[in-house]
Amino acid sequence: MSDYYWDNKIDYLRRTRPLHHNDDYFEFLVEKVWRITEPVRLVDFGCGYGYLGLKLLPLLPEGSTYTGIDEGMELLAHASSLFSELPYETNFIAGDVTHLVCEPQYDIAISHAFLMHMQDPQATLQIMIDSVIDGGKVICIESNWVACMAGYYVDGVDQSKIVDVGLLQKLFERDTKRVGKDGNIGSKLPVYMSKLGLTQIESRVSDKVLFLNPNGDADVHAEMLASMRTDGGFGASPGDTEPFIKGLMSRGCTIEEANRQYENELRLSQLIDSNSFVTHAPGMRFTFGTVQRSKI
């Protein structure tokens, strides 16, 4: 087993990525928003198993290339296997992106749910910018976790009984101050991009809305619920009380806050089953800007 955390989360990544986006929304962005009409050299920071490449390469003009960078050797091996039978020019680079020295050689640098895990996301964003040629784009797809959690509705349950938005907001703010990682970075990226010199900055929100419908296809319902619960996700059991409480207290929660969050998650795990109606709007944000080094 690899020592790298995400090497051991391939199943989690494969099951949860489709929860964030509709495929036709990628098509809309490529054709109507980014207006990519010529082949591009695409680099994916924190590429994982190559999810973005799998989604974007079929939509990009013929001749486009994809380079994935990740620290996970198992992830890259899995990505290489997935792309081996596909008709695209790809390259995978193993390494810690925070220590890369990049030359501007790509038309687009992109990342997905990556900067939120960085201790210094602005420094990593600068590395992405450095990899792009003048006039190229930097695209970051990130969440605002508090807004994401507020996007749930479980039929017959008061939202405040399962999602304490105020507590989650404080928790993520404390995390950012304590270790730099920012689960709410999605809402801040337009500001960061502007401060780092990008121009023509825009931000869009994914149109994906999940609907757990017990009156619909039973297999679809079961698969979606399992994906949402994957690896301690929404509706999963919080597990034993003591480690859960200690974990939240280590992140700055009081014992009262930690107990309240445990009760919320336990209640939710007991409420959701094959008969539950649930809607969720993840609200992933696509923020992008243009690299403009040329002096006017």
CATH classification at residue 135: 3.40.50.150
Q: Looking at the structure, do residues 248 and 224 belong to the same domain, yes or no?
A: yes
- Residue 295 counted as domain residue: no
- Please state the separation of Cα 144 from the chain's center in Å: 10
> 182: Cβ–Cβ under 8 A, 6 or more apart, which residues?
115, 116, 121, 172, 175, 176, 188
Task: Identify whether 10 is part of a domain.
Answer: yes
Q: What is the spatial distance between Cα 96 and Cα 201, in angstroms, rounded to a whole number?
A: 27
Residues 170 and 268 in one domain: yes
Q: Judge if 190 and 224 occupy the same domain.
A: no
Same domain, 67 and 198: yes
Strands (E), the chain: 41-45, 65-70, 89-94, 106-112, 132-142, 152-154, 199-205, 210-212, 278-280, 285-290
Does residue 158 sit in the same domain as residue 198?
Answer: no
Say whether both 124 and 151 belong to one domain. Answer: no
Element containing residue 108 per DSSP (H, E): strand 106-112
Looking at residue 58, what is its pLDDT?
A: 98
Q: Check whether residue 52 and residue 199 sit in a common domain.
A: yes
| Gap between the Cα atoms of 136 and 134, Å rounded | 6
Residue located via tokens 């800007």: 289
Cross-sheet strand order for the sheet of 152-154: 152-154, 278-280, 210-212
Question: What is the per-residue pLDDT for 31?
Answer: 97
Position 224 in a domain: yes
- Over the chain (296 residues), what is each successive 10-residue block's mean pLDDT? 89 91 96 98 98 98 98 97 96 94 95 96 97 98 91 90 89 91 95 98 96 93 89 85 95 93 91 90 96 75
Tell me, yes or no, whether 168 lies in a domain.
Answer: yes
- The answer as to whether 77 is a domain residue is yes
The whole-number pLDDT of residue 1 equals 66
Residue 133 lies in a domain: yes
Asked if 196 and 267 sit in the same domain, the reply is no
**Strand-pair partners of 216:** none
- Both 260 and 201 in one domain: the answer is no
Is residue 130 assigned to a domain?
yes
Is the same domain home to 198 and 168?
no
Pairing of strands 210-212, 278-280: antiparallel
CA 166, CA 160: separation in Å to the nearest integer? Answer: 10
By residue range, what is the domain housing residue 137? 5-143+184-206+283-290
In a domain, 157, yes or no: yes
Residues 35 and 156 both lie in one domain: no
The reported pLDDT for the residue numbered 295 is: 56
**Total structural domains in the chain?**
2
141 three-state secondary structure: strand
The whole-number pLDDT of residue 41 equals: 98
Residues 244 and 139 in one domain: no
Give me the amino acid identity at 286.
Answer: F
Tell the burial category of 196 from Cβ atoms under 10 Å away from its Cβ (0-12, 13-18, 19+): middle
Q: Indicate which CATH number applies to the domain containing 251.
A: 1.10.150.350
CA angle 143, 111, 43 (to 5 degrees): 170
- Smallest Cα–Cα separation from 291: which of 156, 158, 136, 165? 136
Output the furthest CA–CA distance in the chain (Å, rounded): 61
Beta bridge partners of 136: none
Is the sign of the CA dihedral 121, 255, 231, 280 positive or negative? negative
Beta-carbon count within 10 A of 262 CB: 19
pLDDT at 296: 46
Rounded to whole angstroms, the Cα distance separating 234 from 166 reads 18
What pLDDT is recorded for position 239? 93
